[in-house]
Amino acid sequence: MTLGEKLALVSVAFLAILATVVFVAFRERALAKSMSDNDVAAQQAQDARVLAVIFGAIFGGMLLTILVAWLVFL
């Protein structure tokens, strides 16, 4: 497998992470519209889900950065 093919796979993985974050963010936004303004517990749970996905994506991006450095420099 050439370096270009490896980096293409990393790009696909990055796009998958990005698509997941965007999908979850828009899904949670749609669910928030149907939520009552007085339901604080549901709002907090929604915030926790969004933050978990975002921070998970951050860690995934960090791992992809390490993977790219390993592919390019070793």
Give the integer Cα–Cα distance in Å for 64 and 15: 11
Give the integer Cα–Cα distance in Å for 43 and 23: 18
Number of domains in the chain: 1
**pLDDT for residue 19:** 92
> Which residues neighbour 17 within 8 Å (Cβ) at sequence distance 6 or greater?
57, 60, 61, 64
Residue identified by tokens 């993985």 is 13
**pLDDT for residue 33:** 83
Range of the domain at 52: 3-73
Q: How far apart are the first and last CA of the chain?
A: 14
Give the integer Cα–Cα distance in Å for 31 and 7: 36
40-70 per-position pLDDT tens digit: 898 899 889 989 988 989 998 999 889 888 8
5-54 per-position pLDDT tens digit: 888 888 899 999 999 999 988 898 888 888 888 888 988 998 899 899 88
**pLDDT for residue 1:** 81
**pLDDT for residue 62:** 92
